[in-house]
Amino acid sequence: MIAKSENRFIRLNFITIVVTLLVILAGGIVRSTGSGMGCPDWPKCFDQYIPPTHVSQLPADYKDKYVASRLKKNEKFAKYLESMGKKELADSIRHDQSITVPEEFNPAKTWTEYINRLTGVALGIFLIITAIYSFTYRKTAKRIVVLSVLNILVVGYQGWLGSIVVSTNLTQWVVTVHMLLALVILGVLIYTYNYARMLHKERSVIMYRILWLKGFLAFTIIISIIQVILGTEVRESIDTISKSLNFADRNTWVSKVGSIFSYHRDLAILVAVCNFIVYKMVIDRFSGKAWPLQTANYIMIALIVQIATGLLLSYLSLPPYAQALHILFATILFSLQYYLFLLVYRTATYKPN
């Protein structure tokens, strides 16, 4: 029987997973609406805790002020990169002229970005509370405590990287790392959630071979992560193209992306095929209300939505709502795949004595 304190941690961990997905959705909305630079400084917004709604509320000479602040922060970041042996990358940031171009004030974009930051703060709070409650496992499952505390450090680094995203004017590779770290945070939460749920349960045993499913599911997860990376790079290319065209001729943006879009589209076919194979392998091995089978059903739903939003993006000139949903369901798909892997990992094939 699971203790009340453990049940409390499991519920809180699940809520934190949901909050993380909401943060990713908020980030997707920011990207799709071009609101990433809605707040030119960080962590405040126009040096205020409550952002302005009118240009008259802005600080004096705010454009010059925030450009100077960004240049100063970028110089520190460039030195950090140099210390890691990334001299060329550091120089490219130093000489990026787009950083010196101030963003025009847009209250809608400002508040979109501000709400995104508030969801990030909420996630930080939930992660701290989750880490505090994880100490109920300090004697029975220390890895839950260690991972929960480490996740706070990761989200702290993620917050710092968010400030770099702003100061470098959405530098492409920084945005990609920002997304991957979000998957790391989510992966840790899913692992601790599953580990806590299964801590007092026996391993499942089935009559069919499980090793092939474990291996192929791991391969599918890797392919899905690569697809997320390619998708992020496609989005970054779209950002560059849209800016170069002053956000006009939206229907031509996709055609200008180049080979990276073709790779992303073609890999999507492989991702779909792999997930269908995983689904077939699961239904062949599990039945009834088994959690692996239910999770596989959810994977199919997420995959269908993911494919549908991808088609909308390709053929309807990148509608913003489809962009946000595409990012969200890519993350949900990864989450369900990883959770299924953890469930399958605890399953063994029956071996008669």
Max intra-chain CA distance, the chain:
81
Q: Write down the pTM of the prediction.
A: 0.87
Is 80 exceeded by the pLDDT of residue 170?
no
Q: What is the DSSP letter of 169?
A: T
Question: So what's the pLDDT on residue 266?
Answer: 92
HEC letters along 210-243: CHHHHHHHHHHHHHHHHHHHHHHHHHHHHHHHHH
Could you give the CA distance from residue 216 to residue 200 in angstroms, rounded to a whole number?
28
How confident is residue 269, by pLDDT bands cut at 50, 70 and 90?
very high
Interval 130-137 mean pLDDT: 96
Which residues make Cβ contacts (< 8 Å) with residue 182, sequence separation at least 6? 20, 23, 24, 27, 158, 331
Compute the average pLDDT of residues 317-321.
85
User: What does the mean pLDDT of the chain come to?
Assistant: 87
Find the mean pLDDT for residues 227-247: 84
d(CA 14, CA 29): 23
Nearby residues of 43 by Cβ (< 8 Å), 6 or more positions away = 117, 159, 163
- Which residues make beta-bridge pairs with 348? 205
Mean pLDDT, to the nearest integer, of 276-297? 90
Residue 162 reports pLDDT greater than 80: no
Average pLDDT over residues 243-248: 79
Residues in a beta bridge with 205: 348
| Weakest mean pLDDT among 7-11, 78-82, 111-115, 191-195 | 78-82
Tell me the β-bridge partners of 349: 206
Indicate the helix (H) or strand (E) that contains 343.
helix 320-345
Percentage of the chain with pLDDT > 90? 43
Mean pLDDT for the stretch of residues 213-231: 94
Confidence band, pLDDT 50/70/90 cuts, at residue 352: low
pLDDT of residue 164: 72
Q: Is the pLDDT of residue 14 over 70?
A: yes
Average pLDDT over residues 295-316: 94
Q: What is the pLDDT of residue 242?
A: 80
Closest residue by Cα to residue 282 from 224, 216, 192, 219: 216
